[in-house]
Structure 1
Amino acid sequence: MRTAYLLVFNGLSDWEPGLAVAEINKSRDYTVKTVGFNEDTIVTMGGVSIIPDCTIDEIDYSNAAIIILPGGEMWENDPVTDLVPVVEKFIKKGIPVAAICGTTVFLARHGFLEDIKHTSNGKSYLQNLVGKYKGNDLYVNKPSVSDNGIITANGIASLEFARDVLGELGVYDKDTLNVWYDFFKNPQLNE
């Protein structure tokens, strides 16, 4: 089984990765592990306490399938430099990186979006927090964008984010993934 890492930290927007990690965890091919900056229990924005399974220094890159970076206020207020070498290693090894909401600020701030089509909570959101950044012209005004192993999504697109993460990992074949997405997106079609 390959490991899907979910970064956890105080103030994590816990609803954003929910659908993605639930479906990944149901798969026979993957297991989900929470990864923290340290071993301390974190408390999400929703008040859920999580003890990380491992720290960022204990990631097993040889077995890693993806790292999922959920949003939270931390990304807007802190450059989060401890995570830069981790994301660099994922990208160098060709392992997908999935970022939603404020995490896109981190990616833009540290040059990870220079050659990648990407989205966020709006082009002006990124520019207000990062300024003009390399890759600024590759911004796509869509809920979720997947390009060259990097998935980005805006904060209200957790369903589209999950679809792109599941598609990147091949959790479901294309037809099943479309049915899964429609089930959540268009509940009236399920009657």
Structure 2
Amino acid sequence: MIVDTTSTVHLAVYDTFADWETGYATAWLARTGHPVRTVGPTAGRTVTAIGGLRIQPDLALDDLDPRDSAMLILTGADLWDAGDELAPFAAKAREFLAAGVPVAAICGATAGLAREGLLDGRKHTSAVSYYLAATGYRGGDGYVEADAVTDGDLITAGPTEPVAFAREVLGRLGAFEGGKLDAWYRLFHDSDPAAFEELNA
């Protein structure tokens, strides 16, 4: 069986990653034809999420090529604010954006992108504006008070907005469009029972 690697979405995983932040996005990507593969710091080394979930990544970060991916998703993690251990993931995000492949970052990953200079000149959001300001980045004028923001190939969101984050990811990759995307969001964000029928019509 031949797999179209350009439909594959890559989810970055590392110790202390916030496992609740990307579940809506990855589950519905997989259900709509976008296989999800995990990418860790090194091959064969298990990482542990904040919630204790243990994952053995499918491939190492060094082996990830933007040409083989539809999107890179970066989760939040305590390690984003504890030193430079996750800086290589931000550098990989730079490769993706330079290649025209989308990047989606939530929570602490937005600070990693800020330190890498990837939010300078782009509209973006995060937990709060002063969280990113503390990184010393120069993109403060582009900060938007919103649940999630898409600017070209970059999606950002704060830590309390996994559903809004997923909406932007699903929309960017065409998993749902128009009224279907709106129904999906209303179902999972607003618990609107009518949206279930619209989504499954």
TM range (shorter): over 0.9
Q: Counterpart of 2:39?
A: 35
Q: TM-score, normalised on structure 2?
A: 0.89
- TM-superposed CA distance for 1:57, in Å, is 1.2
Cα 1:84–1:180 shift into 2, 3 Å: closer
Amino acid of the structure 2 residue aligned with 1:122: V
The correspondence for 1:166, drawn from 152, 170, 185, is 170
- TM-superposed CA distance for 1:127, in Å, is 1.6
CA distance in 2, matches of 1:48, 1:81: 22
The correspondence for 1:47, drawn from 44, 52, 64, is 52
Amino acid of the structure 1 residue aligned with 2:121: D
CA distance in 2, matches of 1:87, 1:183: 31
- TM-superposed CA distance for 1:110, in Å, is 1.1
- 1:10-55 per-position Cα deviation (integer Å, ceiling 9, x unaligned): 1110000000000011122x21000001120011111111000000
Q: Counterpart of 2:185?
A: 181
Q: Counterpart of 2:10?
A: 5
The correspondence for 2:159, drawn from 147, 155, 162, is 155
- TM-superposed CA distance for 1:174, in Å, is 1.6
The secondary structure found in structure 1 opposite 2:8 is: strand
CA distance in 2, matches of 1:146, 1:23: 19
The secondary structure found in structure 2 opposite 1:62 is: helix
CA distance in 1, matches of 2:189, 2:94: 33
**Structure 1 unaligned runs (5+)?**
none
CA distance in 2, matches of 1:43, 1:139: 31
- TM-superposed CA distance for 1:135, in Å, is 1.3
Amino acid of the structure 2 residue aligned with 1:61: P
Q: Counterpart of 2:116?
A: 110
Identity %: 37
CA distance in 2, matches of 1:126, 1:54: 30
Amino acid of the structure 1 residue aligned with 2:91: P
Q: Counterpart of 1:16?
A: 21
Q: Counterpart of 2:199?
A: none
Q: Counterpart of 2:133?
A: 127
Amino acid of the structure 1 residue aligned with 2:99: K
The secondary structure found in structure 1 opposite 2:119 is: coil
- TM-superposed CA distance for 1:188, in Å, is 4.5
Cα 1:13–1:6 shift into 2, 3 Å: same
Assess if the C-alpha contact under 8 Å between 2:157 and 2:165 holds in 1.
yes
- TM-superposed CA distance for 1:83, in Å, is 2.3
Asked if residue 138 in structure 1 is aligned to residue 166 in structure 2, the reply is: no
- TM-superposed CA distance for 1:169, in Å, is 0.5
